[in-house]
Amino acid sequence: MDELIAHLFGDYVVQSTWMAERKLEAHGPALAHALSYAACFTPLTRSPARLAVIAGTHFAIDRWRLARYLVWAKNQAAPPAYRYELASAGRSGYVESQPWLHVWLGIIADNSVHLLINRLALRGIRRG
């Protein structure tokens, strides 16, 4: 639960308009966002390595919208009539036929990737 709160705070409360609007266009805003995001996890860990994983992956995922490639790739398992070229995918990775749907599905996919990485960074992979 603490990981979820840190994620929400870092991604939505701490992120400024400048960061949100410019992180896809320039490294500076993306880096500022990634560092301020990772700072929200310092109450959960003091490990520089864990914080670096959180910051580094957050930077890459947000700067280059990497979740869109995951969304596009998983949609290639659909029946042929529902597959589409990456070039026709919107910023979310979905075809933009229903704007409200693709925006929210893209946000959910992006958040899911961040949450999984944060969980692994903070707690590692537990084996039976």
Report pLDDT digits (tens) over 34-54: 999 999 999 999 999 999 999
Domain range for 71: 2-123
Least confident window among 17-26, 39-48, 83-92, 113-122: 83-92
**Sign of the torsion formed by the C-alpha atoms of 65, 68, 69 and 71:** positive
| Residue at 13 is within a domain | yes
Domain total for the chain? 1
Report the pLDDT value the prediction gives residue 101, as an integer from 0 to 100.
80
Closest CA to 85 of 74, 77, 76: 76
Measured distance CA(50)–CA(124) in Å, rounded? 10
| Residue at 128 is within a domain | no
Q: What is the pLDDT of residues 78-107, one digit of tens each?
A: 899 888 887 777 777 777 777 778 888 889
| Residue at 94 is within a domain | yes
Helix 99-123 vs helix 48-63: angle between axes, to the nearest 10 degrees? 160
Closest CA to 84 of 75, 92, 97: 75
127 pLDDT more than 70: no
Report the pLDDT value the prediction gives residue 43, as an integer from 0 to 100.
97
Closest CA to 65 of 109, 5, 115: 109
Measured distance CA(57)–CA(62) in Å, rounded? 8
| Residue at 73 is within a domain | yes
| Residue at 30 is within a domain | yes
